[in-house]
Amino acid sequence: MNTEDQDTRWMNMAVKLAEKGVGLTSPNPCVGAVIVHENQVIGSGFHEKAGLPHAERKAIADGTARGNAALFADSTLYVTLEPCSTTGKTPPCTEAILEHHFKRVVYGSQDPNPRHRGAAADILGRAGIQVTRGILEKECDHLIRGFRLNMLEGRPWVIAKSAMSLDGRISRSPERSQWLTNEKSRSFVHTLRAECDAILTGGNTMRLDNPSLTIRKPDRPVSSLKEQPWRIILTHNAASIPADSVCLTDEFRDRTLIVENVSSYLELLKNLYNERKTGTVLLEAGGCLVREFLKAGLVDEWVGFYAPIITGGGADGVTGGSFLEREAFLEQPVVSIFGSDVCIRGDVSYR
């Protein structure tokens, strides 16, 4: 394999490692790192939680623990995101890289944080370390799509999830099962919750469905470091939320917030990000609230489940009315099959 193929191969491994941190690292991004010496991985790691070491330092610690520190000066460090160069809760990663004087550093994404952006390449380059940027940039950028938005707009990344019939409805006749989608889909929703720091819902959903909005039966293992997401209930009248609602009475009730009379969803989101460090929130709500978020251009990612049922009635996934002034488009949607259900997921752009 040539260098480019090698770079792609090891960066791909770093991406896979970074993915293990999805949902854990807010307000930090998820990052993975691999140290390679003569085509052998001699150290690797990923960022697990804000306050814990960054991926680069985890990989260095791993390599050191495996007795490979002496090889670092002849090794390449692959990292999905440009190493940080300032002191936050932990010291800058550039320092650790200089200390071991890696031969080469390869990274995928530029850091969207203006305090770091482009700085690492300069610092490392001046010390004679070869730097290659932009390997698997698209994949690496995808990992930090929420973090980038956090940096640029000071608000959380919003994923809207809706489980619909084939005709776009979200409810069934009262005498039938409350569920449209099957257990596999619902289990994936728990995994999706584990990607997020908070779940937003409306008072109506609380009154009608009394959901738990917790991670209980994900379809993939979830890190023990993962806390249950915040549950944010938007309502015109806090007293209208039944006092015996699961979210208000279960063991995670201290992570439920009721927010009354939101006048600006953007401000709400900014406050959540500033006060609770919620880098990603999941909107699990009825069609009215989903429509409001779409109208405001505040749905950043769409996860739509389609169950193989036509109900012909009931509430809409997105409440109807006039056309959205800006239609929401899914960029390169990814289709997943859950038994007989179909899931269509993608980042949203507005046009």
Which of 57, 100, 169, 255: binder of its own copies (CB under 8 A)?
A: 169
Distance separating alpha carbons of residues 187 and 32, to the nearest angstrom? 26
Distance separating alpha carbons of residues 232 and 211, to the nearest angstrom? 12
SS3 of residue 57 by DSSP: helix
> Is-contact 64 43, C-beta < 8 A?
yes
291 phi, psi to nearest 5 deg: -60, -40
Which of 145, 172, 184, 226: binder of its own copies (CB under 8 A)?
A: 172
Restricting to residues 317-336, which ones interact with its own copies according to CB under 8 A? 317-318, 320-324, 327-333, 335
Structure tokens at 132: 């290659």
Closest approach, Cβ 183 to its own copies, in A, equals 17
What is the total count of residues that contact its own copies (CB under 8 A)?
Answer: 43
Distance separating alpha carbons of residues 188 and 178, to the nearest angstrom? 18
Distance separating alpha carbons of residues 221 and 25, to the nearest angstrom? 16
Distance separating alpha carbons of residues 206 and 92, to the nearest angstrom? 44
Closest approach, Cβ 48 to its own copies, in A, equals 34
Which of 62, 294, 298, 300: binder of its own copies (CB under 8 A)?
A: 294
SS3 of residue 119 by DSSP: helix
Distance separating alpha carbons of residues 350 and 330, to the nearest angstrom? 9
> Applying CB under 8 A, does 340 fall inside the site for its own copies?
yes
Q: Is the CB of 243 or the CB of 335 nearer to its own copies?
A: 335
Restricting to residues 218-257, which ones interact with its own copies according to CB under 8 A? none
Which of 93, 106, 164, 200: binder of its own copies (CB under 8 A)?
A: 164
> Is-contact 258 235, C-beta < 8 A?
yes
288 phi, psi to nearest 5 deg: -70, -50
Restricting to residues 253-292, which ones interact with its own copies according to CB under 8 A? 291
Closest approach, Cβ 121 to its own copies, in A, equals 35
Q: Is the CB of 125 or the CB of 321 nearer to its own copies?
A: 321
Query: What is the distance between the terminal CA atoms of the chain, rounded to a whole angstrom?
Result: 42
Structure tokens at 119: 């700085």
Choose the binding region for its own copies from 192-200, 236-244, 255-263, 299-307 (rule: CB under 8 A).
299-307
Which of 167, 209, 219, 250: binder of its own copies (CB under 8 A)?
A: 167
Q: Is the CB of 51 or the CB of 313 nearer to its own copies?
A: 313
Q: Is the CB of 82 or the CB of 316 nearer to its own copies?
A: 316
> Applying CB under 8 A, does 310 fall inside the site for its own copies?
yes
> Applying CB under 8 A, does 173 fall inside the site for its own copies?
yes
How many Cβ atoms from other residues are within 10 Å of residue 34's Cβ? Answer: 30
Q: Can you tell me which residue has the tokens 């690797």? A: 44
Closest approach, Cβ 292 to its own copies, in A, equals 10
How many Cβ atoms from other residues are within 10 Å of residue 51's Cβ? Answer: 10
Closest approach, Cβ 184 to its own copies, in A, equals 14
> Applying CB under 8 A, does 63 fall inside the site for its own copies?
no
Q: Can you tell me which residue has the tokens 């959540």? A: 272
The catalytic residue among 19, 38, 56, 82 is 56
Active site residue 56: yes
Q: For the chain, how big is the Rg over CA atoms in Å?
A: 22
Contacts with its own copies, residue ranges (CB under 8 A): 164, 166-169, 172-173, 176, 291, 294-295, 302, 304, 306, 308-314, 316-318, 320-324, 327-333, 335, 337, 340, 342, 344, 346, 348
Tell me the catalytic residues. 56
